């Protein structure tokens, strides 16, 4: 496919190259508009306007600079979604430092390992993670911890309020001009699942991140109230949802806890939502559960059938019952932007019948993250949309490869993996696909050995295999996703184990399985729900292997 | 307590036939979002907070009952 010509006139939003410009621009353009809202546990709504958001960022940035933070320093952020997460991020990147976005859903030891590998000397964290990270302060891996919530009971820990106050006083006395930051300066380090057991650290530049946001504006128009419960430590949540909403001057509602996501979704009454298939399915299931409890499931199914027929005949779909159902189940929602994993065609179509447009997109952390997305005005259900205008897209033996300004700078401290992933600027996504005559991209499978879940999370089986191999009775193990439903990403994590014959002597198959299950349960206890092994089976023979003695994954599933 | 938990799980997920040994992920095939919604319903009912990282340790119905008992909640 040829690169599509574009020019700045295509952009429906202002264009920025660096974060200091971005902050100055959104403050000037959208000043008094509400920028960011969230709900407290008692369901009180808190809001910051664009002016307040950018002023707070300037205060915190000044406070950080007073701490002697040099340009290019790495600063890690480890917290649940919150307004302070966003402000800390903006403060760090707008003074030319690098924000390291740490995955909060990892085990304690992996979190510490991630912070250490990133070379972050300053760490913003919420109280949930304080006890996990204090040892890093003791060992000198981290020089300073800033606590984002609650009082700091340890004198080595600085509360974020102190940095705000210090910065605010200094800014009031003598405001500093926006720092001069280079386009090529790394802005974010985001962790991603790789084909090795250790996650890779993707470096995204200032220009790369902002280009990705601006490019998406050509295809997708948000409405005015946007809801996001995606974690900010992923590029999808941070760049495509949070920063993208600010770029457009819309009002972002954030959710800090999956437990209250549904509650906050209803409270915020959004018209636009960026999400993953898991959440779309949850909304869908909840809607049908309510209908079933009211004994109206059969009537609704018949109505849906009629609506589908109208659509096929290009007749307007106007049914009062469907409108009432939408109002009750989905409120003011009109646009769902879905990414991270595959969303079924049936679900997309059902939402469309209810009057909610579903735009499926496709991205990967290494591309900041968006690669392609459907358009409000041209939506092909089943495709992942049109490639962004500044990205070149090539299919190499079916594998999607992309090149352009938003592609990563490389993996931090990993030249070997960088060289494997980037070839003359082309990034090999590991996904297989094709494009149709109109240029829409369709994904058909994966070349890389990754298991993708409906919540958009990915895991390399090697990571779990390494943990399972530590069980003495395990001689060989392979982890894979077993189909658990109608769709490709509906998977059940399964461990197939070849037990060590010497250690199993005299034991029945049942005893071996019981012992292994107990050991797997112990490992599961320290893993987030989506990473837990759900099925264990034992095999009587060794796995078939390649010439280099690697397990042949596809032959053994 | 089991009856209360059965009601909460039914209201949130529509699943029935819950026993003390029922495993949320392995037996009910719930995903992480369903589990969080159930925990959220427990939180509302008992007016308490269960930290997300502690939710990872609640695999079976009896784990939830034990957890609530540790926090002093034994009555519905």
Which pLDDT band holds residue A311 (cuts at 50, 70, 90)? confident
Q: Looking at chain B, which residue has its C-alpha nearest residue A288? A: B14
The complex scores an ipTM of 0.78
Is B75 domain-assigned?
no
Nearest to A128 among B13, B50, B51 (CB): B51
pLDDT number for residue B12: 83
Is B32 domain-assigned?
yes
Q: Is A132 on the interface with B (CB under 8 A)?
A: no
Span A460-480, pLDDT tens digits: 787 788 888 888 888 888 988
Average pLDDT over residues A119-140: 94
Q: Is A528 on the interface with B (CB under 8 A)?
A: yes
**Numbers of helices and strands, H then E, in chain B:** 4, 0
For an interface test with B, give the residue of A255, A529, A534 to mutate (most B CBs within 10 A). Answer: A529
Nearest to A259 among B13, B26, B39 (CB): B39
Q: Is A527 on the interface with B (CB under 8 A)?
A: yes
A521 vs B contacts (CB less than 8 Å): 59
Q: Is A261 on the interface with B (CB under 8 A)?
A: yes
Is B26 domain-assigned?
yes
Is there a shared CATH topology between the A19-181+224-258 domain and the A460-556 domain?
no
Q: Is A276 on the interface with B (CB under 8 A)?
A: no
Q: Looking at chain A, which residue has its C-alpha nearest residue B25? A: A534
Give bridge partners of residue A423 from the DSSP assignment. A426
Residues 6+ apart with CB under 8 A from A547: none
A28/B18 Cα distance (integer angstroms): 57
Q: Looking at chain A, which residue has its C-alpha nearest residue B27? A: A534
Q: Is A149 on the interface with B (CB under 8 A)?
A: no
CATH topology of domain A460-556: GMP Synthetase; Chain A, domain 3 (3.30.300)
pLDDT number for residue A549: 58
Average pLDDT over residues A87-113: 94
CB contact under 8 A, A525 and B56: yes
Q: What is residue B27's three-state secondary structure? A: coil
Nearest to A534 among B25, B33, B36 (CB): B25
A102/A514 Cα distance (integer angstroms): 36
B4/B11 Cα distance (integer angstroms): 11
Tell me how close the Cα of B73 comes to any Cα of chain A, in angstroms.
Answer: 20
Is B17 domain-assigned?
no
pLDDT number for residue A485: 57
Q: Is B26 on the interface with A (CB under 8 A)?
A: yes
Tally the C-alpha atoms within 13 A of residue A137's C-alpha that lie toward its C-beta: 18
- The more confidently predicted of residues A327 and A548 is A327
CB contact under 8 A, B56 and A528: yes
Tell me how close the Cα of B74 comes to any Cα of chain A, in angstroms.
Answer: 22
Average pLDDT over residues A267-295: 88
A264/B8 Cα distance (integer angstroms): 20
Tell me how close the Cα of A280 comes to any Cα of chain B, in angstroms.
Answer: 11
Span A17-40, pLDDT tens digits: 999 999 999 999 999 999 999 999
Parallel/antiparallel/unpaired status of strands A98-101 and A74-78: parallel
Span A325-339, pLDDT tens digits: 888 888 899 999 999
Q: Is B52 on the interface with A (CB under 8 A)?
A: yes
Q: Is B6 on the interface with A (CB under 8 A)?
A: no
Range of the domain at B6: 2-12+22-70
Confirm if A470 and A454 have CB atoms less than 8 A apart: no
Q: Is B34 on the interface with A (CB under 8 A)?
A: yes
Q: Is A42 on the interface with B (CB under 8 A)?
A: no
Nearest to A259 among B40, B53, B57 (CB): B40
Average pLDDT over residues A284-298: 85
Q: Is A521 on the interface with B (CB under 8 A)?
A: yes
Is B59 domain-assigned?
yes
Tell me how close the Cα of B64 comes to any Cα of chain A, in angstroms.
Answer: 14
Interface A–B counts its CB contacts (< 8 A) at 64
Give chain A's mean pLDDT.
89
A92/A137 Cα distance (integer angstroms): 20
Q: Is A526 on the interface with B (CB under 8 A)?
A: yes
Q: How many domains does chain B have?
A: 1
Span B1-54, pLDDT tens digits: 888 888 888 888 888 888 988 888 778 877 778 888 888 888 888 888 888 888
CA distance from start to end of chain A? 35
For an interface test with A, give the residue of B24, B42, B53 to mutate (most A CBs within 10 A). Answer: B53
pLDDT number for residue A5: 45
Average pLDDT over residues A93-117: 94
Tell me how close the Cα of A41 comes to any Cα of chain B, in angstroms.
Answer: 10
pLDDT number for residue B33: 80
CA distances from A45 to A41, A42, A267, A389, A555 (A): 10, 9, 9, 38, 54
Task: Output the DSSP codes for A123-182.
Answer: EEE-GGGHHHHHHHHHHTS-SEEEESSS---STTEEEHHHHHHHHHHHHHHSPPPPP---
Is B34 domain-assigned?
yes
A532 vs B contacts (CB less than 8 Å): 25
pLDDT number for residue A488: 44
Which pLDDT band holds residue A8 (cuts at 50, 70, 90)? low
pLDDT number for residue A1: 43
Nearest to B31 among A257, A278, A525 (CB): A278
pLDDT at A357 over 90: yes
pLDDT at A547 over 70: no
Domain extents in chain A: 19-181+224-258, 460-556
CB contact under 8 A, A128 and B53: yes
- The more confidently predicted of residues A154 and A66 is A66
Tell me how close the Cα of A435 comes to any Cα of chain B, in angstroms.
Answer: 32
Average pLDDT over residues A213-224: 90
Domain A19-181+224-258 has CATH 1.20.1250.20: no
Residue B64, domain CATH: 1.10.1200.10
Phi/psi at A364 (5° precision): -150, 140
**Numbers of helices and strands, H then E, in chain A:** 18, 27
Span A230-239, pLDDT tens digits: 999 999 999 9
């Amino acid at each position: 496919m040829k690169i599509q010509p574009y020019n700045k006139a295509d952009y429906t939003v202002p264009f920025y190259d660096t974060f200091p410009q971005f902050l100055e621009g959104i403050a000037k353009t959208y000043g008094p508009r509400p920028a960011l809202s969230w709900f407290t546990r008692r369901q009180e709504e808190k809001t910051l306007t664009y002016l307040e958001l950018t002023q707070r960022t300037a205060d915190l940035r000044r406070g950080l600079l007073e701490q002697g933070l040099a340009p290019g320093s790495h600063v890690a952020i480890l917290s649940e979604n919150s307004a302070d997460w966003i402000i800390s991020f903006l403060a760090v990147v707008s003074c030319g430092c690098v924000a390291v976005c740490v995955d909060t859903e990892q085990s304690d030891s992996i979190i510490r390992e991630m912070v250490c590998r990133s070379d972050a000397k300053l760490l913003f964290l919420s109280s949930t993670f304080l006890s996990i990270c204090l040892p890093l302060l003791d060992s000198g891996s981290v020089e300073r911890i800033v606590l984002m919530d609650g009082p700091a009971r340890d004198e080595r820990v600085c509360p974020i309020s102190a940095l705000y106050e210090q910065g605010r006083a200094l800014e009031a006395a003598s405001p500093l001009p926006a720092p001069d930051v280079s386009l090529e300066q790394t802005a974010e380090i985001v962790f991603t699942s790789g084909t090795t057991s250790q996650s890779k650290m993707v470096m995204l530049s200032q220009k790369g991140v902002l280009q990705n946001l601006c490019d998406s504006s050509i295809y997708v128009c948000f409405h005015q109230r946007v809801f996001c419960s995606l974690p900010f430590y992923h590029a999808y949540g941070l760049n495509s949802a949070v920063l993208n909403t600010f770029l457009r001057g819309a009002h972002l509602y954030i959710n800090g806890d999956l437990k209250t996501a549904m509650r906050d979704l209803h409270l915020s009454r959004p018209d636009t939502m960026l999400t993953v298939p898991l959440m779309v399915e949850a909304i869908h299931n909840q809607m049908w559960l309510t209908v079933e409890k009211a004994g109206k499931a059969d009537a609704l199914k018949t109505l849906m059938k009629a609506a589908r027929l109208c659509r096929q005949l290009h007749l307007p779909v106007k049914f009062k019952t469907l409108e009432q159902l939408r109002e009750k189940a989905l409120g003011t929602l009109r646009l769902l932007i879905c990414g991270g994993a595959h969303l079924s065609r049936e679900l997309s179509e059902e939402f469309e019948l209810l009057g909610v447009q579903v735009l499926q997109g496709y991205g990967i952390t290494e591309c900041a993250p968006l690669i392609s997305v459907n358009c409000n005005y041209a939506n092909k259900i089943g495709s992942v949309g049109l490639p962004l205008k500044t990205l070149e897209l090539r299919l190499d033996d079916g594998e999607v490869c992309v090149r352009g300004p938003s592609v990563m700078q490389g993996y931090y401290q990993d030249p070997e993996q960088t060289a494997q992933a980037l070839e003359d600027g082309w990034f090999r996504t590991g996904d297989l696909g094709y494009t149709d005559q109109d240029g829409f991209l369709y994904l058909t499978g994966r070349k890389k050995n990754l298991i993708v879940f409906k919540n958009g999370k990915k895991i390399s089986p090697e990571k779990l295999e390494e943990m399972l191999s530590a069980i003495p009775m395990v001689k060989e193990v392979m982890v894979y996703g077993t189909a658990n439903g109608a769709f490709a990403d509906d998977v059940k994590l399964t461990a197939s184990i070849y037990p060590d014959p010497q250690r199993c002597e005299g034991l029945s198959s049942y005893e071996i399985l019981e012992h292994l299950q107990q050991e797997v349960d112990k490992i599961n206890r320290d893993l987030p729900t989506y990473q837990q092994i759900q099925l264990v089976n034992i095999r009587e023979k060794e796995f078939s292997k390649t010439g280099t003695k690697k397990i042949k994954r596809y032959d053994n599933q | 307590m089991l009856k209360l938990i059965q009601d909460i799980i039914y209201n949130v997920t529509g699943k029935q036939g819950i026993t003390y040994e029922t495993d949320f992920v392995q037996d009910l095939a719930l995903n992480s979002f369903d589990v969080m919604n159930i925990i959220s319903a427990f939180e509302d009912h008992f007016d308490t907070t269960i930290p997300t990282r502690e939710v990872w340790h609640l695999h079976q119905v009896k784990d939830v009952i034990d957890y609530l008992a540790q926090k002093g909640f034994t009555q519905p």
